[in-house]
Chain A
Amino acid sequence: MGARCTTCGAALELPCACKACGALQPLAGERDPWTELGFEPAFDLDEALLRRRLLSGSRLVHPDFHGGDEAARALAEAHSARLNRAHAILADGARRADALVVLLGGPDESTSREMPREFLVEVLDWNESLEEARESRSWSDELAALSDELLERRAGELAALRALLVPAPPRGDARLALARSRLAAVRYLDRALGELEALRLAAARN
């Protein structure tokens, strides 16, 4: 990194503010979420450290501590918003993988929605069960089992993503396109799991 505080010159742990003197740093252009939280871009991440960086960063830039003048508060709002966004991306394995694929110059979500071939066969099966669930609008052991199966499958996709992204492939590598198709599968799974969770909660409500 090597960035230094614009006020006191101390080395910066996070680009948003200086831990040594507390000064907010100027709002530079958009940064990737890793840089925002003081990490090197990589799929593997120490989650406890990530959380601590969010908390220590928030202590420096949260608008609660910059109430003095309007400009300082606005800057604090902007830094906090960036910090929160970066954390939300890095805290979720799939979003983290997505950001990494884009950062490494791979295809983004809008250019490719293809799913892995072997996955498509399973999707047909699941869709049938989901369609029935939608119509019955009730919860059952079968749906609980389906939910478990999808969760397990999701864990499998994330493991596959990790295998593709660790170590990080060079820019333009074919593995990035493969990772993108795995991410399309995760998207499908998340939508289906969201629907199932909504059904479960609705059933609990009645």
Chain B
Amino acid sequence: MGYIELNVLNQPTAPKEARALGIDLGTTHSLAAIWKDGRPQVLRVEGESALVPSVVHFPREGAVVVGQAAREQAVASPRDTLFSIKRFMGRGLADVAQELATLPYAASETERGLIQLEVHGRKYTPEQLSALVLRKVHETASRALGEPAPTRVVVTVPAYFDDTQRQATRDAARLAGLEVLRIVNEPTAASLAYGLDQRDKGAVVVYDLGGGTFDVTVLSIEEGVFRVLSTAGDTHLGGDDFDAALVGLAREEIAAAHGAEVLADPGCQQALRLACERCKIELSTAPRAEIHLVLPERRVAWRREVSRAEFEALVAPLVARTMAACAQALSDARLSTTQVDEVVLVGGSSRIPCVRARVEAFFGRKPHVELNPDEVVALGAAVQAHILVGGKRDVLLLDVTPLSLGVETMGGAVSKIIQRNSTVPCSATEGFTTYADDQTGIDFHIVQGERELAADCRSLGRFKLRGIPPMPAGMAKVGVRFHIDADGVLTVTAKEERSGASASIDVQPMHGLTDAEVESMLSSSYSHAQDDFEARRAADLAIEIGMMARAVEKNLNAARAGLDKESLLDLEEALARAKAAAEGRDAKALQKARDEFERASLPLAALLMNNVAQKALMGRSLDEV
């Protein structure tokens, strides 16, 4: 099934200047498509592949090489040839330690904590490297069109990309001299390419297993509106990992046959990686295939036959992780598998037969594979580009934000302000107040993720609200407004309502999480649900004890004057115990201390109430008490 245009006759042809490109900027390869003759078309130069490998090679002398020619340098000069750049977008060194261990690159960090890769003593950020790839894609598009391609573009990102990664993608396009009309999520774009708007109504699942990332998205389609209900995924699971499973198998056997030192050579590593990738691809069509590694200069000629069954056993845990994400996405969309009308496979790795089989078994229906899974996303981006330049108004995408957003509260917990899977654009405002008397500023720490504690979520940025007029604790009213725009990019503003003092920030990327934490931000929130729950409860209890303690301390003089000795002693002891417990993180101990403290403060509360009542009777206003 190709893309079938709905009302061709009613579509005025867009004037030439109102055109825009759709670009799929992928982990392993990138490509462009454009709306032409009433349908989206991949831009390819006659006799060449449309896919531009997302690879950049820096020769010792001469100009930088990008794409296929760069890829061919991988074995000869592995240190100067950069692969998998997308995995580094918007990340810090600590985030990608695992990637760096398997790639022969030198890396360091910028002042802002973002990664840069070093070649011949020069430093390049992933944005700069991606910009080189985007330029190459644009140049290829121009050659294919026979005229300069539009510089207005729609660029796709994995649905599960966080704010920092989206901003980095936008920056890369800007560096390449392109104007980004929209950042679109890859699975959502894929659903557009499939022309699924032909359905008047239905629920669609897009399973997108790419080179480096996995996404699953559940959409409902009604009256030409593609509304995303939920998305789930793993920014660290893709074809590269399937290759790595074969590499692991090969390394063991090569080390046994030729000695481990052969494997230390970066050229050998790259050659082996490519050999394993070839083997994987062959296994999609043949029951058995060979990993074939020949390095004459090292006197290595190694072959190993791999059966499909052996490969499937190796990658079974990876496939299982994708199915768990499918279950999560369905649960979030409140749908069962029987309510799904269509399943679409996207991404080169969805060609693997056991992946197809598992998807079919899980959803109980044959998935759509009619369109080339490497091209679907770019085609969909071209449809969206056409919509955005005003050429098509019968289709609308309503996408969601993949991760919850919140601010850190006292005690390190997270107050969620926008829940994951909220339709974008969305805004929410939350009220905050001061914690101490005469506090004139409030610090905000913005985080993204599903975990209960801020330290376990991804830090997006910090900002300070200043100029709050001095007033007693709890009197200030600060409204913090989060707005996520249609690109999924966040802005935060804050305002003190009494004084009008305001502060705003563009959220600046921060680092501080290990990659393992980022990739599993969502899934770990479930496996850690219990720990999180306890930690959250402890943090809340500590705050409550703090507030109770301040209230009691404020009224200690009254207590000394009006309470009997025993109650006073009891109260003082409970106060000391509660404050000590508040230093700790043991929820059970905190709960016990809080309850005892509350009990011990009852006589004081009664005394204060009496005082209030008496004073009221004496005609004094309550706030004088």
Q: Which residues of A contact B (CB under 8 A)?
A: 51-52, 55, 58-59, 62-65, 67, 77-78, 80-82, 84-85, 87-88, 134-135, 137, 195, 197-199, 201-202, 204-205
Contact = CB atoms under 8 A, between A and B. Distances in A.
A55 B324 CA distance: 31
Nearest to A77: B425
B427 A85 contact: yes
Interface of B: 181-182, 222-223, 225, 227, 320-321, 324, 327-328, 331, 387-390, 393, 396-398, 422-428, 483, 485-486, 523, 525-527, 529-530, 533
B483 A67 contact: no
21 contacts: A55-B223, A55-B396, A59-B393, A62-B396, A62-B486, A64-B388, A64-B397, A65-B393, A77-B486, A78-B427, A81-B427, A85-B427, A85-B428, A87-B423, A88-B423, A195-B529, A198-B529, A199-B529, A201-B328, A202-B527, A205-B321
A201 B524 CA distance: 11
Contact of A84 (B225, B324, B422): B422
Contacts of A63: 425, 485-486
B492 to A, nearest CB: 14
A81 B426 contact: yes
B486 A201 contact: no
A135 B529 CA distance: 11
A70 B126 CA distance: 29
B268 to A, nearest CB: 36
Nearest to B491: A77
A157 to B, nearest CB: 18
A67 to B, nearest CB: 6
A197 B327 CA distance: 11
Contacts of A81: 425-427, 483
A65 B422 CA distance: 20
- By DSSP majority rule, is chain B's interface helix, strand, loop, or mixed? mixed
A202 B321 CA distance: 11
B425 A84 contact: yes
Given A55-B222, A80-B425, A84-B426, A64 B529 contact: no
A204 to B, nearest CB: 5
B479 to A, nearest CB: 12
B417 to A, nearest CB: 12
A52 B223 contact: yes
Nearest to B222: A55
A197 B332 CA distance: 10
Contact of B523 (A59, A197, A205): A205
Nearest to B330: A201
A51 B423 CA distance: 13
Contact of B526 (A52, A88, A201): A201
B516 to A, nearest CB: 16
Contacts of A77: 425, 483, 485-486
Contacts of B397: 64
A202 B526 contact: yes
A80 B388 CA distance: 16
Contact of B225 (A55, A78, A201): A55
A50 B589 CA distance: 48
Contacts of B321: 205
Given A67-B388, A77-B485, A205-B324, A59 B529 contact: no
A51 B222 contact: yes
A75 to B, nearest CB: 11
Nearest to A202: B526
Contacts of B526: 198-199, 201-202, 205
A55 B394 CA distance: 12
B525 to A, nearest CB: 8
Contact of A58 (B324, B388, B398): B398
A43 to B, nearest CB: 20
Contacts of A204: 324, 327
A55 B398 CA distance: 9
B523 A64 contact: no
A195 B527 CA distance: 11
Most buried by B among A64, A197, A198: A64
A82 B182 CA distance: 21
A134 B387 CA distance: 48
A204 B527 CA distance: 12
A204 B483 CA distance: 35
A115 B425 CA distance: 35
B486 A59 contact: no
Nearest to B419: A88
A46 to B, nearest CB: 15
B225 A59 contact: yes
Nearest to A76: B425
A87 to B, nearest CB: 8
A137 B527 CA distance: 8
B422 A88 contact: yes
A166 B455 CA distance: 45
Contact of A197 (B331, B388, B485): B331
Nearest to B323: A204
Nearest to A78: B427
B396 A85 contact: no
A64 B426 contact: no
Contacts of B396: 55, 58-59, 62, 64-65
A171 to B, nearest CB: 24
A137 B426 contact: no
Nearest to A133: B530
Contacts of B530: 134-135, 137
B502 to A, nearest CB: 17
Contacts of B424: 84
A205 B322 CA distance: 9
B407 to A, nearest CB: 18
A134 B529 CA distance: 9
A106 to B, nearest CB: 19
A59 B393 CA distance: 8
B483 A201 contact: no
Given A80-B486, A88-B423, 19 more contacts: A55-B222, A55-B227, A58-B396, A59-B393, A62-B398, A63-B425, A63-B485, A64-B397, A64-B486, A65-B393, A67-B388, A81-B426, A84-B398, A84-B423, A84-B424, A85-B426, A198-B529, A201-B324, A201-B331
A67 B486 CA distance: 11
A202 B486 CA distance: 32
The 4 closest A-B pairs by CB, nearest first: A205-B324, A81-B427, A198-B526, A84-B423
B521 to A, nearest CB: 14
A88 B426 CA distance: 11
B387 A64 contact: yes
B484 to A, nearest CB: 8
A160 B320 CA distance: 42
A125 to B, nearest CB: 19
B387 to A, nearest CB: 6
Contacts of B533: 134, 195
B319 to A, nearest CB: 12
Contacts of A78: 427
A201 B387 CA distance: 38
A59 B530 CA distance: 42
A64 B529 CA distance: 38
Contacts of A82: 427
A64 B328 CA distance: 29
